[in-house]
Amino acid sequence: MTTGNTPPRPSGSRDASLRDPAEVLTRTPPPYGFRVEYGDEPSQFADVRLPPDEDTRSPLAILLHGGFWRSRYDLSYLGHLAQALADDGIATCNLEYRRAGEPGGGFPGTFDDIRAGMMLALSLPARYPIDQARTVIVGHSAGGHLALWMGTRHAIRLPVVALAPVSNLYEAARLGLSNGAVTEFLDGTPESHPERYAFACPSHHSVASATQWVIHGTADDDVPVELASRHADHARETGQTVHLEFLEGVGHFELIDPLSVAWPAVRHAIRTALGLPDVASDPVVSGKGTGSRT
């Protein structure tokens, strides 16, 4: 099913117009609370941050980082988003996983790790003050792909917030995004490995998932915004509920930076997916970051 159109909403912050959006990738993130492992391999772990209020069972956001599924990118850059959510009263479990370029990464190891990591994340409420009934999967870029994929594969239908996701692997492979990242990840093309693409591409699954929030910047030079539109169209045709929001003039990295013009829109989607009340946002800077939803 589709969602109703709403008027554009501000999605701005304090100083985003003054900084390089990619600066979030190199800015040192706040320290995580503690690390847990779900396997014996070096990349099979998660960094957990809990809100300061230990007397309240907090909702949980399971985070999946991007980097076009390649080993040279890791979970650390999502530390800023993870800490911002923890400060907002939301526990975070930032999952690492094996990626292309390291032993066991790519197909099928990455998918095996995401499923195992999800089970680890869902076990945290048994040991920590976390409310499992309020859980969301949040993924960025390639992590957005994995989040959408997990939303159709997991027995427990968890809501998904996908930020600039590589949602259509067929189209991403055809476009050769990031110097052939998809064919590197799946070790072949849709023609050479049709079964892998059918398994891995969330835009071609007919299994109904939980509600999805897909946010994409119109100035994204890494993942074309058209992928989000096509994914939403297909998902809706199969009866799924998709909230699709475009942020005008926003690129790829602003979506995971709590200091950016995109952060209020991202925060709003995550809080909505968790059933939390909306909160006031900082004013827009320079008129950038206005959003439209379909």
Is the pLDDT at 25 greater than 90? The verdict is: no
User: Tokens standing for 90?
Assistant: 């939301």
> Is pLDDT larger for residue 20 or for residue 284?
20
> Is pLDDT larger for residue 282 or for residue 164?
164
Task: For residue 47, give the nearest of 4, 12, 81 by alpha carbon.
Answer: 81
The three-state DSSP-derived secondary structure of 96-133 is: CCCCECCCCCCCCHHHHHHHHHHHHHHHHHHCCCEEEE
Task: Give the CA radius of gyration of the chain.
Answer: 18
| DSSP letter assigned to residue 29 | P
Is the pLDDT at 165 greater than 50? The verdict is: yes
For 55-73, what is the mean pLDDT? 95
pLDDT tens digits, one per residue of 92-135 = 999 999 999 999 999 999 999 999 999 999 999 999 999 989 99
Cβ–Cβ contacts within 10 Å for residue 72, how many? 10
pTM of the model: 0.89
For all residues of the chain together, what is the average pLDDT?
87
User: Tokens standing for 3?
Assistant: 């969602």
pLDDT tens digits, one per residue of 198-227 = 999 988 776 666 799 999 999 999 999 999
Instruction: With H, G, I as helix, E, B as strand and everything else as coil, classify residue 75.
Output: helix
Q: How confident is the model at residue 21 (pLDDT cuts 50, 70, 90)?
A: confident
pLDDT score at 26: 87
Q: Name the residue with tokens 């994929």.
A: 149
Residue burial 214-247, b: 16+ Cβ < 10 Å; e: rest: bbbbeebebbbeebbbebbebbbeeebbbbbbbb
> Is pLDDT larger for residue 96 or for residue 288?
96
Task: For residue 205, give the nearest of 151, 141, 138 by alpha carbon.
Answer: 151
Q: Which domains does the chain have, with CATH numbers?
A: 16-293 (3.40.50.1820)
pLDDT score at 13: 39
Burial class from Cβ neighbours inside 10 Å (0-12, 13-18, 19+) for residue 252 reads: buried
